[in-house]
Amino acid sequence: MKTLSTLEPLTTRLLEIQRINSAASVLSWDQETYMPAGGGEARAEQIAVLQGIAHQKLVSPDVQALLSQYVDPATGQAAEQPDESWDEPSRSLLREVWRDFSRAKKLPSDFVVKLSRECSLAQQVWVEAKEQNAFTMFLPNLRTVLQLKREEAQYLGYQDSPYNALLDVYEPGATIATLQPVFAELKARLVPLLKKITNSTVQIDDSVLHHSYDHTRQLEFGRLVLTAMGYDFTRGRLDLSAHPFTTSFHPTDVRVTTRVHEHELQSCLFSCIHEGGHGLYDQGLDQRYFGTPLGDSVSLGIHESQSRLWENCIGRSRPFWRFFYPVLQQTFHQQLHDVTIDQFYAAINRVTPSLIRVEADELTYNLHIMLRFEIEQALVEGKTQPEDLPAIWSQKMKEYLGIVPPSDTEGVLQDVHWSFGAFGYFPTYTLGNLYSVQFFEQAKQEMPHLEDEIAAGQLLSVRRWLEQKIHRWGRMFTPAHLAERVTGSTLRPEPFLRYVEEKYRELYQL
């Protein structure tokens, strides 16, 4: 039987390409964290050159010649798959390399360089526009990026909608047609639940979260929780950025960021836990396969499931705070000494329509995603124009959440994604929510004392379970196959819906 060693000439070339991409990622991370504002244009060129080189190497005649030895171009599978002469890791690697190669081959190298440059520039303008509440400042860059993403969809090819070509980049196999029924099922159950909560006689006071909280101590507590989760600071960092994110250059160098607001305790706290979930996934990938698809995450929906599992299923749970609330009280004694754990638990789980997606509660969060899904689909299809976005955003916020943003900073400019061309990314957040509960329920079944361990501050068993079940496999399996291996079922909305209905029925005495 043929194994990965047979593919060494191919994997050697893939490793070189990955190292170039990693170098570009280092520059992007620095751009978001420490680069002086004046370095923007030069940095955009540096990143664009590296990504152009990586693209040229991936679609080179050498790589194509190697792939043609192993892959049947008609199917994208190992050429000798029918007689099972390849082992499963090799077949998976060839399947995923062919997917990457085929997609990259459709994109001209000069287009890749141009797209990279324009996205890097747009991202920097977005930061300034958000700070100044000036959507018109960002509008020219957004127009440029959007037009390039429409061109990308044309190069890639698609069925039904150009949006499907972009969506498939982030969540392989997903389409508008597969997502709409899922979103419809969520909306049918979440909107009535939100109405019941809004009409409930129980009123939760979350003012405790908005006292004055020292920046340094917020970061220290965030680091403490990350360490308890198993995030390895000898292989990672925690820094500040305008929009929290995680980036990985290798499983031994994974970096997370957060943001700190003096009067919003939950912002730093939950972004640390959320990004830590992403960071654990990247640190848990098998180093032996670095540079190949087997050393990469399977999809953004699965990746998001890891952050949402930690942030919500664990970080917003009673067991978690039985251990960590006394520590938080000691850290902020003046603000929290007379606040009970039940009051704090209720405050961090309060349901209220809010302006900012990343700070939304578990129930309304998916409504934020549906809004963005509809908007960006219309943008890519040309049914909506960029200059109309502020008005459309306000209209949909009122429709979905009953509130209207008082500014573009709290509205259409709040997310970084469109600035770097990530059209098709937002739906993966909702998929991540659904996967997270499905995975966590399975973990509790397999580890009956898990919640007792969490209540004792022992979080490493969760990390180990996720690493064994999900992280270490990379792209060995498709998202649907991975979910079925872990839970016995492909993605289902029901576990998530049951989870939020039970949680908020108890909190709001419905």
Q: Which residues are known to be catalytic?
A: 275
In a 3-state reduction of DSSP, which class is residue 237?
strand
Is residue 173 packed enough to be buried (19+ CB in 10 Å), middle (13-18) or exposed (0-12)?
exposed
Give the C-alpha separation, 120 to 132, whole Å: 19
For residue 302, give Cα distances in angstroms to 184, 436, 475. 21, 8, 11
Total Cβ atoms within 10 A of residue 435: 30
Backbone angles phi, psi at 258, to 5 degrees: -140, 180
CB 228 within 8 A of CB 459: yes
Pair 301, 431: CB distance under 8 Å: yes
Segments of 326-482 assigned E as strands: none
For the CA atoms of 22, 27, 29, 34, the dihedral, rounded to the nearest 10 degrees, stands at: 150
Q: Are 239 and 257 in contact (CB under 8 A)?
A: yes
Are the C-beta atoms of 228 and 208 separated by less than 8 Å? no
CB of 493 within 8 A of CB of 182? yes
Q: How far is CA 342 from CA 121, 270, 336, 352, 429, in A?
A: 46, 18, 12, 18, 29
- Cβ(226)–Cβ(275) under 8 Å? no
Secondary structure of residue 238 in the 3-state scheme: strand
Do 307 and 466 form a contact (C-beta atoms < 8 A)? no
Dihedral over Cα of 408, 412, 416, 418: its sign: negative
Question: E-strand spans in 38-149?
Answer: 71-72, 77-78
What token pair was written down for 30? 């620095």
What is the C-alpha to C-alpha distance for residues 487 and 466, in angstroms, rounded to an integer? 12
- Please count the other Cβ atoms lying within 10 Å of the Cβ belonging to residue 49: 15
Check if the beta carbon of residue 364 is closer than 8 Å to that of residue 350: no
* Contacts of 147 by beta carbon, 8 Å cutoff, 6+ apart: none
